[in-house]
Amino acid sequence: MAAEKEISVAGTVTTNEWSDRAVVVTGAAGGIGKGIVAALLEAGAKLVLSDAHSDQLEHALRSLDVPRDRLSSFVANICDEAQVNALAEHALERFGKLYGWVNNAGTIELGPALETTRTAVLTQLDTNVVALFQCCQAAVRAILGGKSGGAIVNVASNAGKVGFPHMIGYSASKAAVINLTRNLAEEWAPLDINVNAVCPGSVRTAMLRRVAEYHAERNGLQTDEVLAGFISHQLSRAIEPVEVGRVVVFLLSDSARIIRGQAINVDAGDTPY
């Protein structure tokens, strides 16, 4: 019988694991992006914060009380491939090599399915799927440029699994992100690139409030009433952005090497699969 191949098993997430690892986070200036940034800084990572809105990005940077040698920022619209490639190049120039990339930037347009236009659907597919894919490509090229493996986490949504009224374009785009994640994990495994996704539910963000305001106006309700209806009955409160961020940190870590191509629900039990 042939001898069993020896397997090296990595340990748990530690500050030491992250001390020399740089990660790009898109859509880093608000909502879930800020929670992901906070969780990565907790872990000890170096970060490139990217967002399309320079003023919001600058405000987010000013709010972080961490050594500046662990941080960098880059204004980029993810729908512009040249800007995405420039973001990846900036990360390499700033930190010498890149370990991880979190695709958090995205967009949503609400409306009844019968009234949703082709333009609205295409806009969401372009931003949430095509641009995200271009970011994945740029991430892998940069990670390989550092002659080491790494990991990518895509922010999808439980809307990509369940579907919700008045979110047809958004739901379809997030379902595509889930499938794209599985395909890229399979194809890039030989490159030592791990790819996973998270599927948030009702996270306490400005976007969730905008969704609540939309439904409140259409149904003659108060915004807070609608928000209360969004909350998971198992958790009995909204999810905090940093809680999503901590799951993202785990999926980027060595401890998650056996989790591949998965779309992990971070919705407090609302989605059963």
Q: Hey, which residues are catalytic here?
A: 170
Q: For the chain, give the number of residues.
A: 273
Q: In the structure, how many helices (H) and strands (E) does the chain have?
A: 10, 7
- Which residues neighbour 227 within 8 Å (Cβ) at sequence distance 6 or greater? 208, 209, 212, 238
Of the candidates 241, 268, 263, the one whose C-alpha atom is nearest the C-alpha of residue 40 is: 241
98, 24 Cβ separation under 8 angstroms: yes
Neighbour count for residue 159 (Cβ, 10 Å):
22
- Which residues neighbour 94 within 8 Å (Cβ) at sequence distance 6 or greater? 22, 48, 72
- Which residues neighbour 156 within 8 Å (Cβ) at sequence distance 6 or greater? 174, 175, 177, 178, 181, 197, 198, 199, 263
